[in-house]
Amino acid sequence: MALQNLRPTTLKLFGRFPKTLEFETKQDNLRKEYEEFVNFSDSEEYKTFIELEKFAKSDEPEKIRRKLKSLTFKDSEEQKLELELKLLSKKKTVRNYIRVKSSEKLELYRKVESSGKPQKHEELKQFIQSLGYKSQRKDHKKNNSEEYQKEVELKCLKKDNELKQYLKLLNWKPLQDFLKLEDSVEINRFYELGTLLSSKEFIDRKEYLLSKNKFEQTSAYQNLKEYEKLKKSNKIIWYKKNINSKRFDEVKRWKNTFSEDFSENKLDKNKWITQFYWGKTLIEQGYSLANDKHFYTNGNNIDINNNSLKIITRKEKAEGLAWDKRFGFIPQAFEYTSGIVNTGQSFRQLYGKFEAKIRFTMAPNVYHAFWLVGDTMLPHIDVIRQNGGAKPSVQGSIFWQNGPKKPNCFKARLSGFNFSENFYILSLEWTPNKLEWKINGVTYAQTTSNIPKEPAYLVLSSGVNGAKADSMLPANLEVEWIRCWKMAKE
């Protein structure tokens, strides 16, 4: 089954045919946007958003809210510590301890205590008050004995002002409390609590327990804030909008397998050869066919400039090999020269999308073609071909051999387009069941019959195939870029 339609011509007639630059820009932007879409799906920002969204939609935030709501200063360990210190602070013994600790009286007490006077005073006192001394006091006094001298010494000590204050302090209740609490568990606990409750950690903790906005101080709250912020970001909105849309469906279908934009100032010899594949492979020479009027030079008619490949067909004499079915390779003189490039040694593909941005001189008796072919000349597919003749015509076509007869062909003519002035994006979609030709994304022909089943390589060529082609020479086939794609699911 074969189908040709007039849609491109109709669209042009009503001014609705997509302009090449607009179509190309739209396609490139769509591919770029899809690449950004894919990259964003693997980005840390989106992974963070997904995690935050999962958290925000869970019951975890509410659990945290409820838990924090029940967290108060009242009945907390912190309040218990505060109450414990408060009770200790109110105890008279503790208050007396604090009162005495930094007083001058304690300083005096320590001084006198360490002087030995209290001990000496007690020792003398006990001696003088003893029965032995009292019974013989008169004799001791009369004889001014050593024992009596102790009584004299005691009288002198009693007159010592510091000792008198010391003896008075011994009955002072605050000092008694101080001495009782000094180095005790209770007073050590009092100071421990004082240090703890005056620490920044305790003050901050108490402030937190008394606060009404505990949840707002959590990382959970910050995560929710971050989620709300991300949810409103243009990038997230754009991404979520496109997750389930069909906008990228066409882009998703294809995986790029070959790309050439001629960005270097010379032909990439790793991709292209400038002869027929079999000439390069078998005899390392270029050749033309016996009925050709042009000779395919080895790159002399190829020019690359301003990111564009140009194949130039000239009126000039040349001598070279020609392939004749009866005699093989024979020397032949030619009136014209032209060029051919192909990927026979570097790239071949079975099925997919093959497209190029092309412009060519629509000259009488000159052909230009972007075509696909395998190891045999048939079948071959013309993605686009300008036929020679007095009135050039443009077509997409497929040629195949059906027995010993002349090759069969399917041709889809494309009229109403000025390829001399304008670039167009010509493409072929090749599946196991169909060939579909498009110009600027608009289908103009398709067939479901005689579909090739072998991988093919890319060929770009021009030449003379009419009686005379002098009037508009040199004629050019210009190509800005070529791209090949495979079905992404293959």
Say whether the peptide bond before residue 379 is cis (omega within 30 degrees of 0). yes
Confidence of residue 1 (pLDDT cuts 50, 70, 90): very low
Confidence category of residue 389, pLDDT binned at 50, 70, 90: confident
Residue 447 has pLDDT above 80, yes or no: yes
Q: 106, 199 in Cβ contact below 8 A?
A: no
CA end-to-end span of the chain, whole Å? 25
Mean pLDDT calculated for residue range 44-58: 96
**Alpha helix segments (H runs only) across 3-160:** 7-13, 20-41, 44-56, 60-69, 77-90, 92-101, 104-115, 117-128, 131-135, 137-142, 146-158
Per-residue pLDDT averaged across 384-411, rounded?
88
The answer on pLDDT for 462 being more than 50 is yes
- Report whether pLDDT(8) > 80: no
Q: What is the pLDDT of residue 22?
A: 95
Q: Which residue has the tokens 């009503």?
A: 14
Residue type, 90: K
Measured distance CA(324)–CA(329) in Å, rounded? 6
| Percent of the chain whose predicted confidence (pLDDT) is above 90 | 85
Q: Is the full-model pTM beyond 0.85?
A: no
Place of tokens 């293959």: 490
Phi-psi region of 74 (alpha: psi -120 to 50; beta: other; left: phi over 0): beta
| Residue 175, pLDDT score | 94
Instruction: Give the type of residue at 135.
Output: S
448 has pLDDT over 80? yes
Mean pLDDT across the chain, nearest whole number?
93
Work out the average pLDDT over 155-177: 93
Summarised one tens digit per residue, pLDDT across range 300-348 is 999 999 999 999 999 999 999 999 989 999 999 999 999 999 999 999 9
Q: Give dist(CA 286, CA 277) in Å, integer.
A: 9
Name the amino acid, one letter, at 232. K
pLDDT exceeds cutoff 80 at 440: yes
Instruction: Write out the two tokens for 130.
Output: 């003893």
CA dihedral 387, 392, 395, 400 (to 10 degrees): -20
Contact 463, 293 (CB under 8 A): yes
Residue 270's pLDDT band, with cuts at 50, 70 and 90, is very high
Domains of the chain: 2-25+257-487 (2.60.120.200)
Q: Which two tokens stand for residue 42?
A: 């693997």
Residue 7 above 90 pLDDT? Answer: no
Burial 421-457 (b: 16+ CB within 10 A, else e): eebbbbbbbbeeeebbbbbbbbbbbbbeebbbeeebb
Q: What is the DSSP string of 253-314?
A: HEEEEEEE---SSS--TTT-BSS-HHIIIIISS-EEETT-SEEE-SSTTEEE-SS-EEEEEE
Q: Which amino acid is at 395?
A: Q
CB of 451 closer than 8 Å to CB of 435: yes
